[in-house]
Amino acid sequence: MKLNLIILINIALGLQVAAITAQHSYAQDADSMDENPSMTSVGLPPSAKVEEEDDSVIRKPKEADPPPPKEFSKAETLKVCAKYKDKIISVYGEMFKLQNCTRHHITDPDQVFQLTRQGASVVEVDATDVAALPVGQTWESLRVKDRPCSAFNKKYVTFSYTDIYFVENCVRRLIPDYETLLAHRQERGQKNGEVLALTAKEFWSIRQGRDISSIIDKDFAKLMDGSAGVDIIPVDEACKGVEGKIVTFYSRMYKIEKCRKREIDAESFTMARKLGDIKLIELKPEQWISMPDGKPFTFK
């Protein structure tokens, strides 16, 4: 009886020790999880967990593949080409010029201006029509390549839209004034000869020659040597209405004082006075030749 009591006591003590040991082990595991966050509550690394979707992220839907570009038949291309022949076509602000049924992009706005001056019109077209035309070089590079200096032989050309040149044997000669241009055209039988606008590359590829002699200077020289056939009139009559005035004759400027014409340097005049505050009078040939010269006039 005494032996059985001892056995029961030992069993109870053993169960108590096992419970304490289990409780201690559980506490150590919890501490280990706090110190090592890579371990989960079930002892698995994060990579083994199933990822949860983030509802706050809006996922972009997959875009459908664009449709393949339309293929145009040769007949369709020729139809569009005939429709816009000799015109500048515009789509979404881009300009194209047609040549040999090929569209050439115009990148320089000045080229659009030049083409419209030559009679080309600008038309807005549908993108489908543009797509029917094959793409070529830019219009500027095409023109430079296709227009050597020989293409301008015996023609009037310009680059700045102020100066006009006559090209002969790949040499450009400046025409100094409008009167000379009219006389030059008349001599050649071209009353309304076209003035071709050149690109910078075209212009500088043509060698510069001597200026064409001004017809104004020729007429003035005739007056100087008396071969112009102008009659001399009395001095009083010549300076009537111009005494004390600033006058011009061809490219020269004078101040009339005591019926004498005193030449003025045109540059000094523009520096000293505003051109808009005085009315210049053009002398007649008989007035100019009849008044004697005085000392040059200078502004103080």
Closest among 130, 80, 147, 135 to 105, alpha carbons compared: 135
Neighbours of 287 (CB within 10 A): 23
Residue 234 C-alpha from the chain's centroid: 59
Strands in 102-201 per DSSP E: 102-105, 121-124, 155-158, 164-168, 171-175, 195-197
Q: How far is CA 168 from CA 149, 152, 186, in A?
A: 9, 8, 17
Contacts for 133 with CB less than 8 Å, ≥ 6 apart: 77, 80, 81, 96, 98, 101, 102, 103
- Token pair 């102008």: residue: 230
Extents of the domains making up the chain: 74-144, 147-208, 229-290
Identity of residue 33: M
CATH fit for domain 74-144, picks 3.30.70, 3.30.2390, 3.40.50, 3.40.1350: 3.30.2390
- pLDDT (tens, 9 = 90+) of the chain, 300 residues, equals 545 555 555 555 555 555 555 555 545 544 554 555 544 444 455 554 455 556 666 676 677 666 666 777 888 888 888 888 878 889 888 899 888 888 889 888 888 887 887 788 888 888 888 888 888 888 877 765 657 888 899 999 988 777 889 999 999 999 987 778 888 888 888 766 678 888 777 888 899 999 988 876 666 666 655 555 667 788 888 888 889 888 887 667 888 998 898 988 766 666 555 544 567 788 888 887 788 888 888 876
What pLDDT score does 41 carry? 45
Question: Which pLDDT value is given to residue 75?
Answer: 85
Structure pTM?
0.36
Sort residue 158 into left (φ over 0), alpha (ψ -120 to 50) or beta.
beta
